Structure 1
Amino acid sequence: MSTTTDAANGDSPAPGHPADDDEGAGPPFVLQRRWRALLLASVAACAACGLIYELALLTLSTSLAGGGIVATSLIVAGYVAALGAGALLVKPLLHRAAITFVTVETLLALVGGLSATALYLTFAYFDSSLWVLVFATALIGSLVGAEVPLLMTLLQQGRTAEATDSGRILANLNAADYLGALLGGLAWPFILLPALGMIRGAAVTGMVNLVAAAVLALFLLRHLLSRRALMLSLLLLAAAAAVLITLLVGSRHIETTARQALYADPIIAYERSDYQEIVVTQRGNDTRLYLDGGLQFSTRDEYRYTESLVYPALQADTRSVLILGGGDGLAARELLRVPSVEHIVQVELDPEVLELARTTLSGINDDSLADPRVQVIVDDAMSWLRQDHPAIPDDGFDAVLIDLPDPDTPQLGRLYSTEFYGLAARVLAPDGRMVVQSGSPYFTTDAYWRTVSSVSAAGLAVTPYHVYVPTFGGWGFTLASHGDTPPAATLPPRLPDLRFLDQQVLDAAVVFPDDMGPRNLEPSTLAHPRVVEDMRHGYR
């Protein structure tokens, strides 16, 4: 049996090999059994780091620019293509595999560790990060793709291998590589991202990458490197580590400074939840809430939006109301002003938004979520609607308010589907009313009328209407009810004093000018989320 089998699985030394300026002339490369686990562990660690870098870029690009199926597919496809390109590009360097491998790992740690920071800074200061994303994806993929050819060369250096021996070596490397990718895929969402965030998480991953490369250089490749090459390799690794440590020390300041550059007003609260980036700004009496960079409300005019969302859904005897979304507590604030309302169920996915509503925003929402009439449930709206929940009245809710962010991602798009509105209709009382925030009929005309069509396709009669909210522009809603007759856009009697909405305003709200008038569009469904495509086409 050839000695390569022992090198991959066991203990025998192999014949020597020629020396050159970089590869050492010392003893032949000996991979004894006790070092096998160390080699495979280092390979797995490097593979995990490579995948984490790409996941960090995907996560940050989605957070900054909204992402989407097309963007994600292009990034993943580009990364896979770069893996193949890297394997081909490294071929001329295989005769100097040891020093090349250390160099590749050093570059990978630096590029991957700094990539999230570069992406964030270019987006913050230049309003575009696409070129950084493309370049980083291509470079990281190419460097990761070079790893296996280099390792195969190192394992077989100076040996004559049978076909089955080469197969065993490749199987071991691939197993370690794929296991590392699995570990990296689990570590990013469950450990690194929640604990460290995107910028520091990528930098820490770079440090792990450097440690793995240093272990390989010191314990496994030292016989293949001349003394000069070994010292140079260690200096490169140390210099890269110094850069990443500097980034880690200054990461909070960098992130805070760059984040503030994205917002015109001073940031008074920030939180990165499991679902989104939450920012609250304030200048004078104007407080604003942003989710993933998208404005949710401004205290200058949020009453226009909130009154238009809430009151058309109410009737004289409305007692129970379901709010899906609306975690800022503003819709609940308005409902608590209505004497007939006895019970409100608030379903919100993100507990960090609710915590912000109870603290920083409590003065704006009149501490509505602390009222005993409000039952707060932390859950995904669609998942909750599919349950037989005790909070649902036997005859359904008298009113349902759907106040969710715009459907610019597939995750949000499912909450604008006909199936979702069908689930909401099931918990609506026979004579109840539902209002859906539906986006801008002017700036995103197709998305607005697509939402109207999707609600209608769920078997509900609909009445579209729109109002003017200065910070948003023209904004639209969909009023819906059971039956075949569209519900009349009317306000209930005995309303509290309102700042914007009255019956005359609501009568005008159902009239649409020609440039944003009704469109007959196919509904958005789970199988075909057309509304996400509408949003992807951008704003008029």
Structure 2
Amino acid sequence: MIDPYAPAPPGTPPSWRAPARIPVRQATGRFLVLAGVFVCAACGLVYELELVALASYLTGDSVTQASVVLSVMVFAMGIGSLAAKRLRRHAAAAFGAVEATLALVGGCSAMALYAVFAWTGDWGGLCAGGPRWLLVAFSLAIGLLIGAEIPLLMELIQRIRRQDAGGAVADLFAADYVGALVGGLAFPFLLLPFLGQLTGALLTGAVNVIAGGALVLGLFRRDLTRCARRLMLVANLAVLGILAGAAVLVDDFERAARQAVYGRDVRVALQTDVQEVVLTGGTDGRPLDLFLDGRLRVSGDDERRYHEALVHPAMNGPHARVLILGGGDGLAAREVLRHPGVRRVDVVELDAEMVRLAGRDPALSALNGHAYDDPRVHVTTADAFRWLRGAPTAAYDVVISDLPDPGITAGTKLYSQEFYGLARRALADGGRLTVHAGPVTSRPRVFWTVDTTIRAAGLHTAPYRVAGRDSTSDWGFVLAAPESAPPLDPDRRAPTPRLTGLSPSTLVHPRY
């Protein structure tokens, strides 16, 4: 009878079906394999969330990006699982190679995506607006590697001690799902706020390669030839070196990437709990530009056209009590304070750091007229939708909605019928609501959808627009009031430039 635990000839890997010769007891070995499953699952989910977050940041359409990443990765995981069947004879070596490759690809994915976007302006690698092939490529590669993990780990844990397939699958998937939970929570609450997207991905890759290498070289080292052990050790150290080198250079990389995206005039770059805030210019006579999550939110050259059009039409009437939803930059508050008779201005802003920057940055605070130094201005850090739920009834003469563009999926609830119903409840008799509804010329369907939604909330509306710096850009707004209020005239209180009232016949008005 052949002893399966007898030493194999030097340089010869053991039989595929022979029990693994591990340096610890079987129970300890199984625990270490399940711990490896836990860590690998956590890392895999972090890579997945990293791709979704970065793609959403670069394009703004979080639903589409999440759908692309998740669907491609799940598909690729299935293909990876099938492909791993051919590697089971060399499960230990294959698993080590998969983890080293996954750590390198997943750890560097965020930096690669951001680099392509920063230096080409089109991270899809094709024409602007075309398919995002780079995102698909990373999703596919990471999905293939993650999918290959479970079959290989199943083979390794079965080689420690054979058990029925159902029990082994239950153990592996329990560790896998718990690891995914930890990774899913660690990404938004630890990695993203404390390390940022790029460093967080690199650290995850380092954890991944250490866990995979330690499991194979420590527990299953006897399954490898001496040459294979040396090769795997060198490969893991090389991956760690690449990730560590990238981590050391990440600050310089981000600085260079920001300059490629925003120009060399970047003065403030701040990652808050809510968004990335970048300020350019504002000194030596250069106009101040404010970018939120990569999108130009305030341009010093023409911001007055936007904020005057947003605020002044709503101030035609009683305006002692004004509520501003959003507007953390203080520019809408500046226009409100220009009107005599204003007694109180409540600003509800989600990002406290944005408000702090607007009050302390010399250029931005000068642009907003030091609005936050006015004792009539009171700031509340809260989500506008949730805050309106508890807002007092009929407490405001004017409500100004200066929120992110309605085309951004993440802000959909702020342009819903429920939201406008809550805003209507906060209005006093004869009060007025004004809403930033996005560009009219380039996205008429979005604009008219906002107008229709406001009317569905029981308000009558007066849509209007103001031209931007060139003939191809504009801003659209909707002035609204309860149906019992007198007719609205957006142009009456508007300073230059003159506003253009709109009707369904003015632009393409889709059927609903």
Same-fold status (TM-score > 0.5): yes
Which letter maps to 1:314?
A: M
* Residues 228-267 of structure 1: pairs in structure 2 closer than 5 A: 228-264=227-263, 266-267=265-266
Q: Is 1:107 aligned to residue 101 of structure 2?
A: yes
Distance 1:89 1:17, change over 3 A: farther
What is the CA deviation profile of residues 420-450 of structure 1, one whole-angstrom value per residue up to 9, with x for unaligned ones? Answer: 1111111011101111111111111111111
In structure 2, how many angstroms separate the alpha carbons of the residues matched to 1:217 and 1:417? 53
> 1: CA distance between counterparts of 2:398 and 2:293?
29
Q: What residue is the counterpart of 2:509 in the other structure?
A: 519
Partner of 1:148: 150
Shift of 1:142: 0.8
Per-residue Cα deviation, 1:95-133 (whole angstroms, up to 9, x for no partner): 111111100000000000000001101111122222221
Deviations 1:390-415 (A, max 9, x none): xx4x6321111011111233321111
Separation in structure 2 between the aligned mates of residue 23 and residue 298 of structure 1, nearest angstrom? 66
Residue 56 of structure 1 corresponds to 50
Partner SS, residue 197 of structure 1: helix
Distance 1:367 1:521, change over 3 A: farther
Q: Tell me the SS of whatever aligns to 1:262.
A: helix
Give the deviation of 1:370 after TM superposition.
2.5
What corresponds to 2:382 in structure 1? Answer: 379
Give the letter aligned to residue 153 of structure 1. E
Do the aligned residues in 2 keep the contact of 1:68 with 1:408 (CA within 8 Å)? no
| 1:41 aligns to 2:35 (yes or no) | yes
Corresponding residue to 1:510 among 497, 501, 504:
501
| Residue 512 (structure 1) shift | 6.4
Q: CA–CA distance in 2 between the matches of 1:319 and 1:513?
A: 33
The aligned amino acid for 1:475 is W
Could you report, residue by residue, the CA deviation over 1:45-99 in whole angstroms, capped at 9, with x for unpaired residues?
1111111011101100000111332331121111111111101112222111111
Query: Secondary structure of 2:490's partner?
Result: coil
Which structure 2 segments of 5+ residues have no match? 124-131
1-structure distance, mates of 2:459, 2:164 = 67
Counterparts of 1:268-307 in structure 2, within 5 Å, are 268-282=267-281, 284-307=285-308
Partner of 2:313: 312
1:367 aligns with 2:370: yes
Amino acid at match of 2:354: V
Mapping for residues 90-239 of structure 1, pairs under 5 Å:
90-129=84-123, 130-157=132-159, 161=162, 165-239=164-238
Q: Is the 8 A contact 1:316 1:340 kept in 2?
A: no
Distance 1:19 1:27, change over 3 A: farther
SS at match of 1:443: coil
8 Å CA contact 1:333–1:368 kept in 2: the answer is yes
Native 8 Å contact 1:14 1:29 kept in 2: no
1:304-360 Cα offsets, whole Å, 9 max, x none, are 111111111113542000000111100111111222000001001111211221122
Q: Which residue of 2 aligns with 1:66?
A: 60
Structure 1 residue 460 and structure 2 residue 459: aligned?
A: yes
Which stretch of structure 1 is more off in the superposition, 468-477 or 109-118? 468-477
SS at match of 2:316: coil
Given the two structures, how large is their TM-score scaled by the length of structure 2?
0.90
Cα distance, 1:34 vs. partner? 2.9
Q: 1:407 to 1:513 in 2, by over 3 A?
A: closer
Task: Quote the Cα distance in structure 2 between the aligned partners of 1:16 and 1:75.
Answer: 48
- In the alignment, is the contact (CA less than 8 A) between 1:310 and 1:334 conserved in 2? yes
Checking the alignment, whether the CA contact within 8 Å between 1:63 and 1:277 is kept in structure 2 is: no
Please tell me whether the aligned partners of residues 464 and 478 of structure 2 are also in contact (alpha carbons under 8 angstroms): yes
Match of 1:481 in 2: 481
Give the letter aligned to residue 340 of structure 1: G
**Paired residue secondary structure (1:339):** coil
1:3 alignment partner in structure 2: none
C-alpha deviation, 1:513, in angstroms: 10
Work out whether residues 63 and 276 of structure 1, in 8 Å CA contact, stay in contact via their aligned partners in 2.
no
User: Do the aligned partners of 1:22 and 1:226 also contact (CA within 8 Å) in 2?
Assistant: yes
Aligned residues: 492
Secondary structure of 1:289 counterpart: strand
The residue matched to 2:509 in structure 1 has which SS? Answer: coil
Deviation at 1:176, TM superposition (A): 1.1
Partner letter of residue 519 of structure 1? H
Cα deviation code 1:193-222 (max 9, x no counterpart): 111111110000001001101220232111
Q: Residues 327 and 357 of structure 1 are in contact (CA less than 8 Å); yes or no, is this contact kept in structure 2?
A: yes
| C-alpha spacing 1:421/1:395, structure 2 compared with 1 (3 Å) | closer
Pair 1:395–1:425, CA change in 2 (3 A): closer
Asked if structure 2 preserves the Cα contact closer than 8 Å seen for 1:328 and 1:365, the reply is yes
User: What secondary structure sits across from 1:110 in the alignment?
Assistant: helix
Change (3 A) 1:292 1:432: same
- Please list, as runs of the form range in 1=range in 2, the aligned pairs for 1:351-366 lying within 5 A after superposition: 351-360=352-361, 361-366=364-369
SS in 1 for 2:366: coil
- Cα–Cα, structure 1 residues 28 and 418, in superposed 2: closer, same or farther, change >3 Å? closer
* Secondary structure of residue in 2 paired with 1:363: helix
When residues 70 and 51 of structure 1 are mapped into structure 2, their CA distance, relative to the original with a 3 A threshold, is: same
**TM value normalised by structure 1:** 0.86
| 2:324 aligned counterpart, secondary structure | strand
Residue in 1 aligned with 2:127? Answer: none
Report if the CA contact (8 A) 2:329-2:358 is conserved.
yes
Name the structure 2 match of 1:29.
21
Counterpart of 2:400? 401
8 Å CA contact 1:348, 1:378 repeated in 2? yes
Mapping of residues 71-82 of structure 1, within 5 Å: 71-82=65-76
More moved, 362-371 vs 374-383: 362-371
Q: Is the 8 A contact 1:401 1:436 kept in 2?
A: yes
Q: Which residue of structure 2 aligns with residue 87 of structure 1?
A: 81
> How many angstroms apart in 2 are the aligned matches of 1:132 and 1:73?
15
SS at match of 2:367: coil
Q: Would the alpha carbon gap of residues 14 and 481 (structure 1) be closer, same or farther in structure 2, given more than 3 Å must change?
A: farther
What secondary structure, in the 3-state scheme, does the structure 1 residue paired with 2:221 have?
coil
The CA RMSD over aligned residues, in Å, is 2.4
SS at match of 1:280: strand
Asked if the contact 2:113/2:134 (under 8 Å) is kept, the reply is yes
More deviation, 269-278/339-348: 269-278
